[in-house]
Every structure is written in structure tokens, then in C-alpha cells.
Amino acid sequence: MRVHAGVPYVVTFHGGGHPSKLRNAIRGVQNQAYAPLLRRANKLIATAKFEVSSFGKVLGVSASKFAYIPNGCDIAASTVTPQPLNPDAPLILSVGRLERYKGHQHAIAALPHVLKEMPNAKLRIVGGGDYEGELNALIARLNLQASAEVRAVKPTDRQGMAEVLASASLVMLMSEYETHPMAMLEAIALGRSVLVSNTSGLQELADDGYAKAAPLNSTPEQLAQAMLHQLRHPHTPKTIHLPTWDDCSNGLLGLYNEIVRQPVANEQATSLHSSLQCK
């Protein structure tokens, strides 16, 4: 109705992986169904750079149709007491919801090969979700109970999460798809060495020099070598410029002001920000 009334609107993509095979299978059909609405939007907002090219190709629109406005990354880093890291007993974190597509199982499968060279290394899977049983079963099957655990931090405990991240020698996520990997951004903000898969928004962190990337299809041995390399040679960028939520809100406000100043059919039109979940 707002489209026919001439009301300007923008759409923010909220993409990501999903555990449902059905939802993943119909993603293309879903995008095509939304395509007419998206093409008529005054602007499409991408929170990751890769969305401009990927969704632009699907919709048949140019990059000028998009505004790149990333989400913010604000963490209580100033309240975290730096902890000395023990290179002989490093803590590795794999952080994210416990879903298969998040790839925590890859970190677990690689751990035996890490332990061959660093026998005192520990792995903690930080997150909650339906895949916890499978992850614990894999830990037991590989006889890693003494070296690996699944233990979440409450989503509301931002200070607790900051302290956990600050205690790690390596923070990793071998996910199939992430638009704006918040936990990895928080780890980077805290000066942690970060390892990610070479996909979607995770690869962008590597492209920007904030993380190292390993192929998503790495064997356990190959992933272990990437983990060991960063444990021995931590990747900590000297200069970090991550977007804040103030940056995000200012970018959105500027875009809204730009759009409402454009001539529209309805003189009393106001802007509508629609967040479209493309999962």
C-alpha cells in the first residue's frame, strides 16, 4: 500500500545461514518473490560489502542502488582487565550459536591435530543452541573431554563475553555464512587474533586485514595448521577502525534525510525503514 501511495522506503538486508534445509533450498525463490518490492525501494541498505554484488546480481540492479551502512561494534573493552596469555596452554574459542552451519564441529575435529603439537591447548565452544548434543557427542567420540568443552555466556552478559574473549589466544568461526559477524568484531576490538572461514562477511574481515581466513572446505589437518600458525604468530592489526552504533545511526539518519528531500508523488509522504529478513 505504501508503494502505491508513493511513500518512499528503504530496505535493509538481514541475511544469514539457517539450519533448515528447506529454507535454504527456497532462498532463491524467496529472493525472486521479493524482487519487485526491492527494485522499487529508494535505497537498499547493505550491512556487508559482499551483499552489494550478490544481491545486486540477483535483483539486476547496479551498485548505486545500495547504501553500505554496517552495524556497530561497541563492547566494554575499557572495563576488561588484560590477561596475560600462556603460549604453552593457549585457549581457543569458537563463538556463535550452536547450529551446524556455524562450523564449530570443524574446530573440534581439528583439535586432535593441534594437541599433537600443543598438548596443553584448550578449546571452548561459546554459544547455545540445538546443535549442542551433536557437538558434545563429537567431543566424546574424539576423546577430547579433557581439552574441549561447550559452555555459553548469557547473551545479556556483555561484560562476561568481553572477559571471555579477552582471555583467548585465538578466536575463530568457520561458519558457512555470516553477514556481520559480531563476535569476531568484538574479538578484534579486544586485540585478539581471529581466524575465520573464507566466506561472506567473514572473508571481508580478512580482506580488511583484521583476521586470517582458512578455506571452508579445509581438512581437519589443514585447519589445525592454520590454528597453530596463529597461535604461534598471533595476527593483531596495529590499527583498528571498526564502525560504532553511532556511525550506524548517523549513516541511517543521513540516508533518511536524503530520501525525504527527494521529490515524491505524495507531498505528505514520510520514509519507511523496512527490515527484510532474507534467511
Say which CATH number the domain at 214 has.
3.40.50.2000
Q: Domain count of the chain? A: 2
Domain assignment of residue 238, yes or no: no
Domain assignment of residue 91, yes or no: yes
How far does the chain reach from its first CA to its final CA, in angstroms?
24
Confidence band for 22, pLDDT divided at 50, 70 and 90: low
Domain assignment of residue 64, yes or no: yes
- Tell me the residue range of the domain where 62 lies: 9-72+243-278
Claim to verify: residue 94 and residue 25 sit in the same structural domain: no
Claim to verify: residue 87 and residue 198 sit in the same structural domain: yes
Cα–Cα distance for residue pair 196/244, rounded to 1 Å:
22
Claim to verify: residue 85 and residue 133 sit in the same structural domain: yes
Confidence band for 208, pLDDT divided at 50, 70 and 90: very high
Domain assignment of residue 237, yes or no: no
Claim to verify: residue 102 and residue 165 sit in the same structural domain: yes
The dihedral through the CA atoms of 157, 190, 81, 164 has a sign that is: positive
pLDDT score for 73: 82
Claim to verify: residue 196 and residue 157 sit in the same structural domain: yes
Claim to verify: residue 97 and residue 226 sit in the same structural domain: yes
pLDDT score for 34: 76
Domain assignment of residue 2, yes or no: no
Claim to verify: residue 150 and residue 47 sit in the same structural domain: no
Claim to verify: residue 95 and residue 221 sit in the same structural domain: yes
Q: Which of 11-15, 162-166, 272-276 has the highest mean pLDDT?
A: 162-166
Q: What is the DSSP letter of 82?
A: P
Claim to verify: residue 250 and residue 118 sit in the same structural domain: no
pLDDT score for 195: 99
Domain assignment of residue 272, yes or no: yes
Domain assignment of residue 247, yes or no: yes
Claim to verify: residue 46 and residue 165 sit in the same structural domain: no
User: CB under 8 Å to 156, separation ≥6 — which residues?
Assistant: none
CB–CB of 248/69 below 8 Å? yes
CB–CB of 279/26 below 8 Å? no
Tell me the pLDDT tens digit for each residue of 258-275: 998 876 544 443 444 544
Claim to verify: residue 35 and residue 118 sit in the same structural domain: no
3-state SS assignment for residue 273: strand
Tell me the pLDDT tens digit for each residue of 48-96: 999 998 889 889 999 999 999 999 887 655 567 667 788 889 999 999 9
Domain assignment of residue 81, yes or no: yes
